[in-house]
Chain A
Amino acid sequence: MTNAQAVDTARPGRPPGRRPPGRSRETGPTRASSMRRREAIAGYLFISPWIVGFCVFTLGAMLYSLVISFSDYRLATDTATPVGFDNYAELFRDPRVMGSLGNTLFYAVLAVPLEIVVAMALALLLARSGRAGGFFRTVFYLPKMTPAVATAAVFLLLLNGNTGAINEGLAVIGIDGPQWLIDPTWVKPSIVIMTLWGVSGTMVIFLAALANVPRELYEAASLDGAGRVRQFFSITVPMISGSLFFATVVLTIAALQVFDQAYLLFWRDQTNASPESSLFYGVYLFQQAFRQFDFGFASAMAWLLFVIILLITLVQVRLSNRFVYYEGDR
Chain B
Amino acid sequence: MAVLPAETADRLVQTVTTDPVSPGPAPGRRRPRTAVGRVVVWLLLGVCTLAFVYPFAWLLAASLKPRSQVFDNLLWPRDVQWSNYAEVWERLPLAAWMVNSVAIALIAALLVTVSSSLVAFGFAYFRFPGRSFLFGLVLATMMLPGAVTMVPQYLIWKQLDLIGTWVPLFGMNLFGSAFYIFLQRQFFRGLPRELFEAARLDGVGYLGLFRHIAMPLAVPSFVIVFLFEFQSSWNNLQSALIYLNSGGVEGYTVPLGLSYAMTTFSPTNGGQGDYQLVMVAALLVTLPMLVLFAFGQRYFIEGVSTQARKG
Chains A and B come from one and the same complex: yes
CB–CB A305/B52 < 8 A? no
With both chains docked as a complex, state the minimum distance between the C-beta of B247 and any C-beta of chain A, in angstroms: 14
Given contacts A148-B235, A149-B237, A150-B285, contact A253 B145 (CB under 8 A): yes
**A88 near B: Cβ within 8 Å?**
no
B122 and A143 within 8 A (CB): no
Contact with A along B269-291 (1 / 0, CB 8 A): 10000010011011101100110
CA distance A130 to B70 in the complex (A): 39
Taking a contact as CB atoms closer than 8 A, the residue among B245, B268, B292 that contacts A272 in the complex is B268
Residues of A within 8 A of B133 (CB): 3
Contact digits for B170-186, partner A, Cβ 8 Å, 1 yes 0 no? 00101110000100000
In the complex, whether B26 has a CB less than 8 A from a CB of chain A is yes
Stretch of B7-15, B76-84, B85-93, B215-223 that contacts chain A: B7-15
Interface residues of A, Cβ cutoff 8 Å to B: 1, 3-5, 7-8, 11, 14-17, 36, 39-47, 49-54, 56-58, 60-62, 64-65, 68, 78, 122, 125, 127-130, 132-134, 136-143, 145-158, 160, 163-165, 168, 197, 200-201, 204-213, 215, 218, 242-243, 245-247, 250, 253, 256-257, 259-260, 263-264, 268-269, 271-272, 282, 285-286, 289-290, 295, 298-299, 301-303, 305-306, 309-310, 313-314, 317, 321, 324, 326-327, 329
Pick from A56, A259, A269: contact of B266, CB under 8 Å:
A269
The 6 closest A-B CB pairs, nearest first, are: A53-B175, A46-B122, A43-B126, A246-B311, A211-B25, A40-B128
Within 8 A of A (CB), among B118-157: 118-119, 121-134, 137-138, 141, 143-156
Q: Bound state CA distance, A285 and B279, in angstroms?
A: 30
Instruction: Tell me, rounded to whole Å, the shortest Cβ–Cβ distance linking A214 to chain B.
Output: 8
Query: Is B103 close to A, CB under 8 A?
Result: no
How distant is the Cα of A7 from the Cα of B136 in the complex, in angstroms? 13
B151 adjacent to A295 (CB under 8 Å): yes
A205's contact among B70, B242, B304, by CB below 8 Å, is which? B304
Which residues on B sit within 8 Å (CB–CB) of A141?
293, 297, 300-301
Taking A58-B141, A155-B55, A302-B150 as known contacts, 14 extra A-B pairs with beta carbons closer than 8 A to each other, sorted by chain A number, are: A1-B129, A4-B132, A39-B127, A42-B122, A53-B176, A61-B149, A130-B29, A136-B45, A140-B49, A142-B293, A145-B289, A152-B262, A208-B25, A269-B263
A302-B235 contact in complex given A142-B52, A150-B286, A317-B8, C-beta closer than 8 Å: no
The answer to whether A168 and B73 have CB atoms under 8 Å apart is yes
What per-residue 1/0 map shows which CB atoms of B12-44 lie under 8 Å from chain A? 001101000000111111111000000001101
B156–A57 CB distance below 8 A: yes
Cβ-closest chain A residue relative to B54: A165
- 19 A-B residue pairs with CB within 8 Å: A47-B134, A49-B115, A56-B156, A65-B151, A68-B152, A137-B301, A139-B52, A140-B52, A145-B231, A149-B254, A155-B55, A215-B27, A215-B28, A260-B235, A271-B268, A272-B266, A285-B147, A295-B151, A313-B143
Q: CB distance B293 to A205 under 8 Å?
A: no
Quick check: is B67 within 8 A (CB to CB) of the other chain? no
The interface residues of chain B lying within 8 Å CB-to-CB of A208 are 25, 304-305, 308-309
Q: By the criterion CB–CB under 8 Å, are B152 and A64 in contact?
A: yes
On whether the beta carbons of B255 and A206 are closer than 8 Å, the reply is no
- Which residue on chain B has the smallest CB distance to residue A163? B71
Partner of A128, one of B17, B41, B141, B155: B41
Cα A79 to Cα B211 in complex, Å, equals 46
Q: Which residue of A lies closest to B9 (CB)?
A: A317
On chain A, the residues within 8 Å of B192 by CB distance are 15
Distance (whole angstroms) from the CB of B264 to the closest CB of chain A: 9
Q: Inside 8 A of B162's CB, which chain A residues have their CB?
A: none
Residues of B within 8 A of A215 (CB): 27-28, 30
List of A residues within 8 angstroms of B174 by Cβ: 49, 53
Nearest CB in chain A to that of B25: its residue: A211
State which of B28, B149, B231, B268 has its C-beta within 8 Å of the C-beta of A212.
B28
* Interfacial chain B residues near A156, Cβ < 8 Å: 262
Known contacts A57-B149, A147-B235, A243-B311: does B11 contact A317 (CB below 8 Å)?
Answer: no
* Cβ-defined contact, B189 with A143, below 8 A: no
Are A68 and B175 closer than 8 Å at their CB atoms? no
A23 to B37, CA, bound (A): 62
Quick one: given A54-B175, A57-B156, are A16 and B124 in contact (CB under 8 Å)?
yes
- Asked if B53 is at the interface (CB within 8 A of a chain A CB), the reply is yes
Instruction: Give the CA-CA distance A140 to B99 in the complex, in Å.
Output: 29
Q: Which residue of the partner chain, among A52, A129, A324, contacts B45 with CB atoms under 8 Å?
A: A129
Answer whether residue B226 sits at the interface, using C-beta atoms and an 8 A cutoff. no
Residues from chain B with a CB closer than 8 A to the CB of A259 are 237-238
Please tell me if B48 contacts chain A, counting CB pairs below 8 Å: yes
Q: Is B299 an interface residue (CB 8 A)?
A: no
Which of B147, B268, B293 interacts with A301 by CB under 8 Å?
B147
Q: Note all chain B residues with C-beta closer than 8 A to A8.
A: 127
Query: Shortest Cβ distance from A313 into chain B, in angstroms?
Result: 5
Q: Is the CB of B127 within 8 A of A61?
A: no
Q: Which residue of B lies closest to A243 (CB)?
A: B308
Query: For the complex, what is the distance from the CA of A52 to the CA of B172, rounded to whole Å?
Result: 10
| A150 engages B282 (CB within 8 Å) | yes
B92 to chain A, nearest CB (A): 13
Asked if B119 contacts A264 (CB within 8 A), the reply is: no
